[in-house]
């Protein structure tokens, strides 16, 4: 899946359940500056928020179920993924169905 924004193109190469995604990010040492990547999941709104920095967002851009947030230098500081459960459930269900065929 590829999500295009005016400033960036995000290519989702793999889908992990939220807990595994958090582990992969932490293991991979993905950091911006000294801050670690942080994840929040809001079950009520079905939104996953990934924060790369603590700086305040001064701009944002939305596209295909995601929103990117930018700092004053135009760097991505956060990503919101809307409908995360649905986005994870379908690919996982397809993989499970193939595995039991």
How many structural domains are present in the chain? Answer: 1
- Rounded to 5 degrees, what are φ and ψ at 29? 70, 25
Separation CA 75–CA 66 (nearest Å): 16
Q: What is the pTM for the complete model shown?
A: 0.58
**Structure confidence at residue 88 (pLDDT):** 78
Cβ–Cβ under 8 Å, residues 12 and 4: no
DSSP string, 5-66: -SS-EEE------HHHHHHHHHHTT-EETTEEPEEEEETTTTEEEEES--SPP-EEEEETTE
Range of the domain at 93: 2-100
Query: Tens-of-pLDDT digits for all 101 residues of the chain?
Result: 445 555 555 544 444 444 444 444 444 444 444 557 788 888 888 888 988 887 889 999 988 888 989 889 888 888 898 988 888 777 777 777 787 76
């Amino acid at each position: 899946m590829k999500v295009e924004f005016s400033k960036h193109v995000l290519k989702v190469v793999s889908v992990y359940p939220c807990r595994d995604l958090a582990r992969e990010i932490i293991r991979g040492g993905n950091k911006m500056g000294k801050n670690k990547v942080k994840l929040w999941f809001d079950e009520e709104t079905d939104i996953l928020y990934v924060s790369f920095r603590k700086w305040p967002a001064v701009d944002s851009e939305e596209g295909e179920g995601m929103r990117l947030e930018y700092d004053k230098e135009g760097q991505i500081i956060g990503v919101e993924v809307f409908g995360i459960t649905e986005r994870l459930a379908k690919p996982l269900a397809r993989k499970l169905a193939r595995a039991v065929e």
